[in-house]
């Protein structure tokens, strides 16, 4: 990669950048090799020979050397504080090489020793994230005794990968007063769910203002390094405060701050329109009162509400029902959606299990019966995750104009006939999850996200997951998946009218530059194949995402013409 032209000024001073000698992913001009950005807007794209005449007027000229320029990704479901805290905590995930129960204990012990150096009194809570006993050969979850022994009696919070349960040490259980709360396992495993989990989450997230700000910036910088220009923050009381959300939005409001754009949601249940209006008055920047407002829990923690019991149901944790937990009734769901509709904002819920989806559909029907279907459609409500969508649920989503924010990496990480979902549900039920093709072909508005830190900030993993679904009938085209992870996020936030999510003249310059060893073109059958210039037929190119292909490398990320991440010299 080379940069030509005059010396590169400071990011804030750059008003015009010419990208040339590359490949531009643009349906407006599928053969474009160059792109001009003026004052944060795409003002030209076209052929390399024309770009030569524009070089003299640009403040910065970047020779792409064959690199690919695409619209920047949008991650439509993130937890910024949680992600930032996880980055500086003990990583117990397979991504960190923790693939056994013993390795998890070793990692915890090492984390405790490191913390002893700065906190010899042992009062600071050791945070750990990402463990999944289903991925370990022992299939044995962490326990309170494990944490006490490995960490020398220090307060320890070890969140399961799905974030809906955790194991805590004896010291932390005492500090948080968990023994008397619902969701505490009286058998002594140290597992917390429900109210007990919410209580201890509040304790461990009482971090200093400096650490909170650092966590925000760490997560946002990590997103930018993966080509992500926008994020939907799913704030809720058990994960962050209203003041924290204000800080996050203020931090990212101006593109000149060189951080990704944040679309803010807050998951607080409203009973009346006045409740919704008061929340919007307090947080006027909200796009919706939605997100992680949980209708149920998660499959991994056996708290997702199911029609049939879990296949591997155990005596615990904490006496959890064999078919999971329903956190909201249809009446509560209906009241919230009606309140949000009356206040003129999006409403929505986290919904995982099929019984929870049934309850959400009943809530939609109650609102429609009282206020009419057009009231729901006008509000553009959204649901998160929605792993189970059968024919009746799909019909309701379409009838009432409900969009979905889904996480394809859930399928590639936990799905398949040998994955965690199959272990919890049985292979037959697990095979019906994540019906990407059914949703896309029906026309349900889709946006893709990661639910970080549940799965990593890795949008190409999300795109690839839709191409490798074990049920081949539920795979979708790479073009559709890429669009759901770019323009789809702007669309769900009501911002696609700006042109965001596409590279065309007049659109905001939200883009990413990628080095990919091979580019690929979509075949008529929906497969990605190595680029053959004769067979391209005017289709925009994407990186080769086939099995074994190298991961695309993000060279630069740009929001409104401002560089967020840059590897060009």
The full set of domains in the chain, from first to last, is 2-72+501-566 (2.30.40.10), 88-204 (3.10.310.70)
Give the helix ranges, DSSP H, for 151-193. 170-176
* Contact between 250 and 216 (Cβ < 8 Å): no
Q: For residue 503, which phi and psi values (nearest 5 degrees)?
A: -105, 100
Q: Which two tokens stand for residue 110?
A: 């090492």
Looking at residue 537, its pLDDT comes to 55
Strands (E), 152-206: 156-160, 166-168, 191-192
Give yes or no for a contact between 169 and 153, defined as CB atoms under 8 angstroms apart. Answer: yes
Q: What is the pLDDT of residue 319?
A: 53
Contact between residue 154 and residue 139 where contact means Cβ atoms under 8 Å apart: no
Please tell me the distance from the alpha carbon of residue 273 to that of residue 311, in angstroms, as a whole number: 41
For residues 358 and 297, give the distance between their C-alpha atoms in angstroms, rounded to a whole number.
14
Say what the pLDDT of residue 79 is.
97
pLDDT at residue 83, rounded to an integer:
96
Are residues 283 and 247 in contact, defined by beta-carbon separation less than 8 angstroms? no
399: helix, strand or coil? helix
Q: Distance from CA of residue 280 to its chain's centroid?
A: 23
**The pLDDT of residue 320:** 64
- pLDDT at position 546 is 85
**What pLDDT is stored for residue 95 in this prediction?**
86
Please give the C-alpha separations between residue 146 and each of 94, 103, 167, 176, 560, in angstroms, as whole numbers: 19, 12, 10, 19, 49
pLDDT (0 to 100) of residue 3 = 41
CB 294 within 8 A of CB 327: yes
- DSSP three-state, residue 96: helix
pTM: predicted TM-score of the whole model, two decimal places: 0.93
Q: What is the pLDDT of residue 538?
A: 63
Q: Long-range contacts for 418-426 (Cβ within 8 Å, ≥24 apart)?
A: 419/134, 420/132, 420/134, 420/135, 420/299, 420/300, 421/299, 423/134, 423/311, 423/312, 424/134, 424/299, 424/300, 424/302, 424/310, 424/311, 424/312, 425/299, 425/306, 425/310, 425/311, 426/311
CA 230 to CA 228: how far, in whole Å? 6
Mean pLDDT of residues grouped by 10 in the chain (569 residues)? 38 78 94 96 95 93 97 98 95 92 96 86 88 92 94 94 93 91 88 91 89 97 98 95 97 97 98 98 98 96 95 63 94 98 98 98 98 97 98 98 98 95 96 96 97 97 95 94 97 94 97 93 53 56 88 97 94
Query: What pLDDT score was predicted for residue 225?
Result: 98
Rg value, the chain, Cα: 24
Strand 126-131: give its sheet, edge to edge. Answer: 90-91, 126-131, 156-160, 166-168, 191-192
Q: What is the DSSP letter of 95?
A: G
| pLDDT at residue 6, as a whole number | 33
Residue 274 Cα distances to 203, 256, 287, 308, 432, angstroms: 30, 36, 17, 38, 40
Cα distance between the two ends of the chain: 8
């Amino acid at each position: 990669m080379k940069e030509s032209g005059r010396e590169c000024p400071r990011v804030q001073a750059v008003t015009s950048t010419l990208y040339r000698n590359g490949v531009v992913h643009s349906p407006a001009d599928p053969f474009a090799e160059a792109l001009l950005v003026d004052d944060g807007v795409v003002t030209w794209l076209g052929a390399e020979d024309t770009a030569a005449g524009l070089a003299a007027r640009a403040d910065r000229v970047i020779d792409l050397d064959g690199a690919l320029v695409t619209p920047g990704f949008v991650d439509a479901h993130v937890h910024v504080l949680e992600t930032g805290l996880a980055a500086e905590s003990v990583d117990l995930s397979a991504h960190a090489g923790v693939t056994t129960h013993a390795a998890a204990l070793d990692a915890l012990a090492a984390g405790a020793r490191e913390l002893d150096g700065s906190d010899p009194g042992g009062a600071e809570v050791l945070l750990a994230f990402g463990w999944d006993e289903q991925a370990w050969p022992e299939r044995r979850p962490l326990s309170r005794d494990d944490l006490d022994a490995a960490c020398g009696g220090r307060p320890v919070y070890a969140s399961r990968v799905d974030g809906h349960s955790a194991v805590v040490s004896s010291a932390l259980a005492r500090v948080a007063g968990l023994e008397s709360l619902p969701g505490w396992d009286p058998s002594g495993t140290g597992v917390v769910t429900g109210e007990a989990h919410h209580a201890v989450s509040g304790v461990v997230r009482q971090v200093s203002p400096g650490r909170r700000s650092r966590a925000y910036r760490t997560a946002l910088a990590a997103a930018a390094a993966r080509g992500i220009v926008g994020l939907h923050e799913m704030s809720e009381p058990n994960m962050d405060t209203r003041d924290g959300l204000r800080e996050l939005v203020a931090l990212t409001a101006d593109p000149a701050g060189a951080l990704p754009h944040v679309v803010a949601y807050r998951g607080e249940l409203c009973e009346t329109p006045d409740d919704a209006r008061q929340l919007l008055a307090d947080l006027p920047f909200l796009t919706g009162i939605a997100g992680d407002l949980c209708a149920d829990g998660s499959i991994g923690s056996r708290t997702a509400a199911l029609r049939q019991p879990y296949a591997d149901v155990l005596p615990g944790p904490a006496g959890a029902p064999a078919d999971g937990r329903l956190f909201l009734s249809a009446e509560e769901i209906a009241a919230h959606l009606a309140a949000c509709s009356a206040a003129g904002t999006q409403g929505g819920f986290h919904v995982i299990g099929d019984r929870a989806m049934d309850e959400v559909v009943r809530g939609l029907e109650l609102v429609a019966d009282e206020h009419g279907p057009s009231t729901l459609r006008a509000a553009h409500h959204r649901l998160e995750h929605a792993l189970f969508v059968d024919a009746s649920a799909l019909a309701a989503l379409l009838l009432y104009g409900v969009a979905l924010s889904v996480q394809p990496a859930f399928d590639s990480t936990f799905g398949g006939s040998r994955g965690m979902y199959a272990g919890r549900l049985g292979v037959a039920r697990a095979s019906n999850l994540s019906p990407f093709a059914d949703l896309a072909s029906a026309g349900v508005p889709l946006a893709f996200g990661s639910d970080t830190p549940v799965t990593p900030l890795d949008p190409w993993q999300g795109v690839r997951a839709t191409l490798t679904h074990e049920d081949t009938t539920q795979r979708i085209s790479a073009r559709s998946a890429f669009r759901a992870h770019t323009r789809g996020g702007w669309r769900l936030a009501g911002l696609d009218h700006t042109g965001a999510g596409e590279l065309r003249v007049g659109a905001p310059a939200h883009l990413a530059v990628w080095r990919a060893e091979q580019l690929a073109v979509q075949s008529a059958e929906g497969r990605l194949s190595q680029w053959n210039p004769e067979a391209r037929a005017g289709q925009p190119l994407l990186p080769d995402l086939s099995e074994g292909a190298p991961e695309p490398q993000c060279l630069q990320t740009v929001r409104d013409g401002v560089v967020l991440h840059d590897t060009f010299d």
